[in-house]
Amino acid sequence: MEKILVTGACGQLGSELTADLQSIYGTDNVIATDIVEPPEALSDGPFERLDVMDRPALAGAAERHGITTIYHLAALLSAKAEQQIGKAWDLNMQGLLNVLELARDGRFTKVFWPSSIAVFGPDARKEQTPQNSPCNPTTVYGISKLAGEQWCSYYHRRFGVDVRSLRYPGLIGYKSLPGGGTTDYAVDIFYKALAGERFSCFLESQSRLPMMYMEDAVKATIDLMRADPASISVRTSYNLAAISFTPEELAFEIQKHLPEFEISYEPDYRQQIAESWPDSIDDTAAREDWEWSPVYDLEKMVGDMLKNLEKELKQGIP
């Protein structure tokens, strides 16, 4: 039986992934950890306050709970990282190295670590960016993700650590808010639309970015972690794709449900980050190696998001 520890469990991906892992592996077999207090959604299962920068504390938690698998999600996202360069580098790198070192010592038999489309820079092909494109990121977040991918590959090659990773696009979900990313607009827009307010977008109308509905992101993560190790040919991080759209296209799709909805565009420093990233991603390796296939397109995602977020907001969450 797997015993799982999730770091950054209160984050956008963490809170949803933890809930799904609990329903698959049993609530008591998934230990959620974070440096902040848990939200209501995580209050059913075991939770510990844990700072991934504190390696002895991480080792202690692994020992105490007999952990086999870690999903190490704690990190600073792209926009926040540009404002806290040193902190982003320390957390995104040292946190990962602490996990990989403990895995090398045998404390974890399997590791998941999230990378991002941010590993690509302006010189990568924009459309259908291939798995092995040039990676010359122009953000501190991208640099930390690229270095992290190389550390994962190194620990796998040199020490046999079973570490697996995905290059997530922007993630969209209704259960929790993202915190500090360049793709956050694609979640914020739904809150304004349902509140009947005009949305001011911090990206230009035509900024196309790769995105994914949370259901698909959680499914991809769990499928990758359940895949036969022999089928995993990429030990840096897999390209992963579902939908690509511009703010204007997203607004148009929302207007099909809420015709009064209005959007305006006031690009800020995040526009430059978005311009350095791909428009769409080629995820052939993930499809071939472990049969990845997304379920949600733009139309399906918007319909589901509006329906469920409206329900959550009526109940006062999040």
Mind telling me the catalytic residues?
141
Nearest residue relative to ligand AKB (C-beta)? 181
Q: Does 117 bind ligand AKB (CB under 6 A)?
A: yes
Among 19, 118, 152, 212, binds ligand AKB (CB under 6 A): 118
Least distance CB 274 / ligand AKB (angstroms): 8
Q: Does 88 bind ligand AKB (CB under 6 A)?
A: no
Which is closer to ligand AKB, CB of 168 or CB of 296? Answer: 168
Least distance CB 44 / ligand AKB (angstroms): 27
Concatenating the DSSP letter of every residue in 109-153 gives SEEEEEEEGGG--TTS-STTB-TT------SHHHHHHHHHHHHHH
Among 52, 77, 111, 135, binds ligand AKB (CB under 6 A): 77
CA distance 301 to 318: 19
Among 22, 78, 176, 276, binds ligand AKB (CB under 6 A): 78
> Edge-to-edge strand order for the sheet containing 4-7?
47-49, 30-34, 4-7, 69-72, 110-116, 162-168, 238-239
State the residue for tokens 């501190």: 140
# of chain residues touching ligand AKB (CB under 6 A): 12
- Contact (Cβ atoms closer than 8 angstroms) between residue 144 and residue 94: no
Which is closer to ligand AKB, CB of 67 or CB of 76? Answer: 76
Q: Does 183 bind ligand AKB (CB under 6 A)?
A: yes
Stretch that binds ligand AKB, among 66-74, 104-112, 176-184, 192-200 (CB under 6 A): 176-184
Which is closer to ligand AKB, CB of 19 or CB of 203? Answer: 203
DSSP state of 189: H
Query: Alpha carbon 33 to chain centroid distance?
Result: 16
Least distance CB 79 / ligand AKB (angstroms): 6
Q: Does 144 bind ligand AKB (CB under 6 A)?
A: no
Concatenating the DSSP letter of every residue in 244-305 gives EE-HHHHHHHHHHH-TT--EEE---THHHHHHTS-SSB--HHHHHHH-------HHHHHHHH
CA distance 208 to 195: 25
- Contact (Cβ atoms closer than 8 angstroms) between residue 135 and residue 146: yes
- Contact (Cβ atoms closer than 8 angstroms) between residue 112 and residue 165: yes
CA distance 268 to 272: 8
Stretch that binds ligand AKB, among 16-24, 56-64, 115-123, 246-254 (CB under 6 A): 115-123
Stretch that binds ligand AKB, among 24-32, 48-56, 168-176, 257-265 (CB under 6 A): 168-176
Least distance CB 117 / ligand AKB (angstroms): 5
In the complex, the residues that contact ligand AKB under the rule CB under 6 A are 77-78, 116-118, 141, 168-170, 181-183
